[in-house]
Amino acid sequence: MAVMEFIALYFLLAIAVGMLAQKRGRNSAQWFFISILVSPLISAIFILVQPDLAEVARSRQNEADLKKCPQCAETIRKEAVVCRYCGYNFMSIEQRPLPTGARHDTRTYRGVIYVMYPDGRIAATIAGRDYNWNDFDEFKAFVDPQAK
């Protein structure tokens, strides 16, 4: 009877090793059989001293989800549209949603892409920063201070 109990315990420990292997990103069936052949204890120790593959995969995924802000060099989420450190805006003026009723009227002045709203206000993004002007003259004076 003691032999049967030992075999049952050995078998349960091998299953536990398989579960441990899976939790650490390894093949559970493969480690179940290794446990049966080698011993659950040795197999479990081997799995625990080896790198946690599930953790390695997670941190690799996290790195892939990040990008570097061109303005402040902080690391931020890849999906981020605005940098949470310095406010750098990754979305160009043409991609941004306009206020309701606004006409999507994009033009370029001296290499600066700007949007003119129906009421004459101007918005533009220069080097990642948003600017607003009340009219075209203000905008012109900002972009090209020499022009008169």
Write phi, then psi, for 55 (nearest 5 degrees): -70, -40
Q: Which of 83, 115, 116, 123 binds Zn ion (CB under 5 A)?
A: 83
Distance between CA atoms of residues 88 and 136, nearest Å? 24
10 Å CB burial of residue 57 (0-12, 13-18, 19+) is: exposed
Q: Which is nearer to Zn ion, 82 or 113 (CB)?
A: 82
Q: How far is the CB of 103 from Zn ion (least distance, A)?
A: 31
Two tokens, residue 83 = 């940098």
Q: Which is nearer to Zn ion, 13 or 72 (CB)?
A: 72
Q: Which of 31, 32, 88, 114 binds Zn ion (CB under 5 A)?
A: 88
Binding region for Zn ion (CB under 5 A) out of 27-35, 43-51, 63-71, 112-120: 63-71
